[in-house]
């Protein structure tokens, strides 16, 4: 091989390594994809009274078949209706407490529980993680309604979050603050929300996290 050929070969290798390094740096600095959000139309936001098939089709269109077979979304819809509606799955009971231990067969561990408290005007989140049913407290409730404010899908984690919202019941009515740690506040000035987090296990969507919060709007 001539000196000129060797020189050209070295220059080509150097350029290739430079390009590879630039590509690797771009990948390292690229932000992780953020969860996509679906805001449901009014006729589908009440999961207890909406057409479940239309709800599933809206979710499937938004995420372009990311959830696999249709029965996957059907099972998730039924699970959400079980948590938020009456046993017939046809009526929005409003904002009511759900005893978590009553749904142990629908829980995927580890289960995360987020408590929110306000200290000196600043909101602080504390996450508790339960790794088995034996670790769950004897009594753990959360507020939930039949109305979904938003649905988030995190493709990287394969996690589906649904945020339910409603005005807080008046003191002395059906209850006060969510036992998950939401502080008691004036019923006529704030709303409360509960985000239920779901992940798949053996092909089934199961509850993997609960976060009661103050809702930004009603």
pLDDT value for 65:
79
Query: What is the pLDDT confidence band of residue 91, given thresholds at 50, 70 and 90?
Result: confident
pLDDT at 174: 38
The model carries a pTM of 0.73
Cβ proximity of 139 and 88 under 8 Å:
no
Q: What is the pLDDT of residues 171-196, one digit of tens each?
A: 444 333 333 333 333 444 456 789 99
Give the mean pLDDT of 141-145.
89
Measured N-to-C along each axis, helices 52-62 and 70-84 cross at an angle, to the nearest 10 degrees, of 120
Q: Which of 28-37, 137-146, 200-209 is predicted with the least confidence, judged by mean pLDDT?
A: 28-37
> What is the mean pLDDT of the segment spanning 115-144?
89
Asked if the model's pLDDT at residue 61 lies above 60, the reply is yes
Q: How far is CA 137 from CA 61, 134, 152, in A?
A: 39, 8, 28
Q: What tokens were used for 163?
A: 């945020």
Helices (H), 46-173: 52-62, 70-84
What residues does each domain of the chain span? 33-215
Residue 43's H or E segment, with its range, is helix 42-45
Residues 100/136, Cβ–Cβ less than 8 Å: yes
Residue among 44, 125, 32 nearest 77 (CA): 44
Q: Tell me the pairing of strands 204-215 and 36-38.
A: unpaired
Tell me how far apart the alpha carbons of residues 197 and 206 are, in angstroms, rounded to a whole number. 8
**pLDDT classification of 108: cutoffs 50, 70, 90:** very high
**160 contacts 107 by C-beta, under 8 angstroms:** no
User: How far does Cα 181 stand from its chain's mean position?
Assistant: 18
């Amino acid at each position: 091989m001539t000196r000129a050929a060797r020189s050209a070969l070295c220059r080509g290798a150097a350029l290739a390594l430079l390009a590879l390094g630039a590509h690797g740096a771009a990948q390292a600095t690229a932000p992780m994809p953020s969860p996509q959000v679906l805001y449901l139309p009014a006729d589908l936001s009440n999961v207890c009274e909406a057409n479940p098939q239309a709800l599933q089709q809206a979710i499937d269109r938004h995420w372009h078949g990311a959830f696999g077979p249709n029965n996957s979304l059907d099972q998730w819809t039924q699970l959400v209706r079980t948590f938020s509606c009456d046993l017939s799955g046809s009526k929005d009971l409003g904002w009511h407490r759900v005893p978590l231990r009553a749904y142990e067969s629908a829980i995927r561990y580890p289960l995360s529980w987020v408590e929110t408290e306000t200290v000196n005007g600043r909101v602080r989140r504390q996450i508790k993680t339960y790794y088995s049913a034996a670790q769950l407290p004897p009594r753990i409730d959360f507020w939930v309604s039949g109305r979904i404010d938003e649905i988030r899908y995190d493709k990287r984690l394969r996690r589906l979050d649904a945020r339910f919202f409603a005005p807080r019941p008046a003191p002395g009515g059906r209850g006060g603050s969510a036992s998950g740690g939401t502080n008691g506040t004036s019923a006529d000035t704030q709303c409360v929300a509960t985000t239920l987090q779901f992940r798949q296990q053996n092909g089934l969507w199961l509850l993997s996290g609960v976060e009661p919060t103050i809702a930004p709007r009603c």
